[in-house]
Amino acid sequence: MGFFKKLDRASGLIGSMAETLHADLGQGLAEGAINGQDLRNAVMACMGCEGSGDCADWLSAHAAGAEDTPDYCRNRSMLHRLRGV
């Protein structure tokens, strides 16, 4: 898989994970809870994650929502921080 496809996939996974945890990335950016660099770092962390292949299955199994990310999620702390925004 090429770099841009991996980048697009990771961006989609982060967006889906945020929705599943009821964390609003857009509002977090607007209110300064995260910045553009934080979001870029999150995408890069997701791209390098060994468990990212399992995310689609995890997200499908938690389509109604979830209280926590999978244990392997490298963006867990950022997503939890955004839940309160």
pLDDT in tens, 15-67: 999 999 999 999 999 999 999 999 999 999 999 998 878 999 999 999 999 99
Up-side HSE of residue 61: CA atoms within 13 Å toward CB? Answer: 8
Question: For residues 51 and 70, is the Cβ–Cβ distance under 8 A?
Answer: yes
- Tokens in use for 43? 């995408």
Tell me the one-letter amino acid at 76. Answer: R
The model carries a pTM of 0.89
SS3 71: coil
Q: Look-up: residue for tokens 């996939």?
A: 9
The better pLDDT of the pair 8, 53 is held by: 8
Q: Report d(CA 44, CA 67) in Å as an integer.
A: 23
